[in-house]
Amino acid sequence: MAGLRVAVVQFAPVFGDRQRNLATMLALLDAARPAHVVVFPELALSGYFFQSRQEVAAVAEPADGLLLRRLQQEARWRRQILIIGFPEQANGRLYNAAALLLPDGDRAVVYRKTHLFYKEKLCFDPGDTGFLVVDVPEYDVRIGMMICYDWRFPEAARTLALQGAELIVCPSNLVTEAWEMVMPVRALENKVYLAVANRTGTEERNGERLVFRGKSAIYGYNGTVLCRAGERETTVLIADIEPQRTRSKAFDPLDDIFADRRPEHYRL
């Protein structure tokens, strides 16, 4: 398979209203029909600005819960790989998670956010999965997962790339602007494609307001912007990528960003 079509979905989830968010996501999947891979934002099913573990527990579900099973059906019917941010309940713990649903899968592959941001630290348990890369031979691509604030840690994308990720997906609810400078660098420094699905809208809880400024984007392996959304619109962006081109890490006949590494001189 030569080209792979990737979509990022940008919208404003409604805090606490899972059925409404699911309905919005199903409608947006129609617009994403041409894509092989569809990436939704962080906590797309629930909204973001939780104030307590009790609030998360009220809407969290296991990876084989009702809503994710519904989305798994969509992945099967549509022959798409879906990546969806959701609050996960597992073994008495609460995770800010992303589910990767395969067309032929019967269970989600779940990544649990490694680096919790701001009040997430009060509401979720730190992720325990480590960084996951999923090999999808049917689509000839290896997909690595990270979530939002993980971008601040170059080790996250580097770990995924070293494990063979060719496309990194990053469901996000970004609230600062520095990421716009850094995400393309994560793509370039690892020679991978990077798809950032960010949300829009605002959430005000206990007198504190968060503003989410969209600008979802798909970056090429040399850091170029393949497509980028505006700040406010609900939209689906689609780009064609060629994962095979990321398999050699050379960028000229003598230089290779993996072969040239000197890990013996690095400190982690």
* DSSP designation for 175: -
159 binds ligand ACM (CB under 6 A): no
Give the residue from 132, 130, 83 showing the smallest Cα distance to 105.
83
The residue within the footprint of ligand ACM, chosen from 46, 173, 198, 200 (CB under 6 A), is 173
* DSSP designation for 52: S
49 binds ligand ACM (CB under 6 A): no
8 A C-beta contact, residue 24 and residue 178: no
175 binds ligand ACM (CB under 6 A): yes
**Closest to ligand ACM by CB, 42 or 55:** 42
State in angstroms the smallest separation of the CB of 15 from ligand ACM: 14
42 binds ligand ACM (CB under 6 A): yes
117 binds ligand ACM (CB under 6 A): yes
**Closest to ligand ACM by CB, 169 or 241:** 169
8 A C-beta contact, residue 159 and residue 178: no
DSSP string, 84-130: EEEEEEETTEEEEEEEEE-TT-SS-EEEE-SS--TTHHHHSPPP-S-
> Distance (Å, rounded) from C-alpha 215 to C-alpha 232?
8
Active-site residue numbers? 42, 113, 148
State in angstroms the smallest separation of the CB of 121 from ligand ACM: 11
148 binds ligand ACM (CB under 6 A): yes
8 A C-beta contact, residue 192 and residue 161: yes
With contacts defined by CB under 6 A, name the span among 18-26, 52-60, 97-105, 171-179 that binds ligand ACM: 171-179
Interface residues with ligand ACM (CB under 6 A) are 42, 117, 148-149, 173-175
